[in-house]
Amino acid sequence: MFERRKNGETIPSLAKAFNVQESNIKYLIALIKKHGYNILRENKNRAYSKDFKLQTINRILINHESINSVAIDIGLTSSGILDNWLSKFKENGYNVVENKKGRKPKSMTKLKKNDKVLSEQDKIKQLEEENLYLKAENEYFKKIESSSSRKEAKREEKVKIIAELRAKYPFKTLLKIAGISKSVYYYYIGKKDIDEKNKDIIEKIKEIYYANKGRYGYRRVTLELKNQGFNINHKKVQRLMKKFNLQSIIRKKRKYSSYKGRIGKIADNHIKRNFEATAPNQKWFTDVTEFNLRGEKLYLSPILDAYGRYIVSYDISRSANLEQINHMLNLAFKENENYENLIFHSDQGWQYQHYSYQEKLKEKKITQSMSRKGNSLDNGLMECFFGLLKLEMFYEQEEKYKTLEELKEAIEDYIYYYNNKRIKEKLKGLTPASYRSQSLLVS
């Protein structure tokens, strides 16, 4: 089939010849093209670990990669396999389901042809059991040492470890090693599963985490839970998120700077790192940041209002030029509001020193403010926003954007999400848009 496709035969023709759906033909061709013919044989006996499945599922739920592209990338013979992983993952409360491989042992009755054969089999079985016992004992005591600083572990700890190891070792063996009876084990299991009562909370935490593409840490998840009517302590949320490995993404720093020396008038610093505002349109901040996608670049120029950290307007361009800045200003001023008491802060980038930019601000009676040279913290609000933006939708995710157009759409989607969906602890669990709207309604 692959060779016939290479020779120019169409997909519909191949689908008809092999009596297979066109989508399956396309999938197999893409799979073989990436991995070669051997992938079809290798997959027959291939096993996948729990961690591997979880990483793969996160590529779809958090990074929003397509099922087909991920399935091809990891070499699955069918995207249906990955679809099945996802279904079971969600059905099992956002937990990976592991299939136990191997056949059930055959009845020993067939071996009872003579006592000599049975005796040899018994010896082998005895050695295997002893070996398994030693492995179980070793792993059990390692867990005891790591879970308890005391010489004598509590029964609850022993029960918890037995419950963890039951999938690997015989139940009776574990009870013997721990030195507790079956009735004691079931008493403590029935008495209290520490997180059984938190089942609904755990499901809601996972739902919030995945809905926000892994961008929320425990503090913001706690706020969202409270917004939805759950009264819960942030320490409990932190513990549960750690238990289920729901970690927010690690921040990186931006590197782009638009400073090109003194080419125009440098304004005074009127902000002086006082980033708070009591109403909208008192303090605005702007800057330009660069997105480098495999050598191709996009530039984002937004305006951020200090009140609620709301993005007033923005422009995305392939070139960091004056036209981009003018377009951003025109979008911000389209409401024809009074900006007489507004302070507009930026760094000393060449765009903000330009005569035409400064004249536009004067026309609106806006006070221009600039950071001191080499003091990036003077424009700290924009630094924080750019760091957050790239952390949550760009860093370590570049591969999912095939073109600059896809990246541009993702930036636009994120800014909408940031303004309208992403709650902030400082705003008492509101989004920037909701917080801003409240003030405008009151005024």
What is the location of CATH 3.30.420.10 in the chain? 283-442
DSSP H/E element including 225: helix 218-227
In eight-state DSSP terms, residue 360 is H
Residue 304 CB-density burial (10 A; 0-12 exposed, 13-18 middle, 19+ buried): buried
386, 255 contact by CB (below 8 A): no
- Give the span between the Cα atoms of 234 and 221, in whole angstroms: 8
368 contact partners, CB below 8 Å, separation of at least 6: 267, 344, 346, 352, 358, 361
* b/e code 241-263 from CB counts within 10 Å (16+ = b): beebebebbeeeebeeebeeeee
pTM of the model: 0.53
Which 3 state secondary structure label does DSSP give 301?
Answer: strand
- Give the span between the Cα atoms of 295 and 239, in whole angstroms: 41
350 contact partners, CB below 8 Å, separation of at least 6: 258, 259, 260, 261, 263, 264
- Give the span between the Cα atoms of 384 and 424, in whole angstroms: 13
In eight-state DSSP terms, residue 108 is G
Which 3 state secondary structure label does DSSP give 284?
Answer: strand
| Residue range 283-442, CATH number | 3.30.420.10
In eight-state DSSP terms, residue 151 is S
- Our CA angle for 96, 36, 18, nearest 5°, is 90
pLDDT per residue of the chain (443 residues) written in tens, 0 to 9: 667 776 777 878 777 777 777 887 888 888 888 888 777 776 666 778 888 888 888 888 777 788 888 888 888 888 888 888 887 877 776 677 665 554 444 444 444 444 445 566 776 777 777 778 888 888 888 887 766 544 456 777 888 888 888 878 888 889 998 888 888 887 777 655 566 677 888 889 988 988 888 888 888 899 989 888 888 899 989 988 887 888 876 555 445 666 556 766 888 999 999 999 999 999 999 999 999 998 899 999 999 999 999 999 999 999 999 999 999 999 999 876 789 899 999 999 999 999 999 999 999 999 999 998 878 788 999 999 998 999 899 988 888 999 999 999 999 999 999 999 999 888 989 999 999 988 766 65
- Give the span between the Cα atoms of 439 and 431, in whole angstroms: 13
In eight-state DSSP terms, residue 228 is T
Residue 320 CB-density burial (10 A; 0-12 exposed, 13-18 middle, 19+ buried): buried
- Give the span between the Cα atoms of 59 and 207, in whole angstroms: 16
- Give the span between the Cα atoms of 303 and 247, in whole angstroms: 30
Which 3 state secondary structure label does DSSP give 384?
Answer: helix
Structure tokens at 328: 């951003």
Residue 106 CA, distance from chain mean position:
45
Amino acid residing at 298: L
- Our CA angle for 412, 322, 377, nearest 5°, is 70
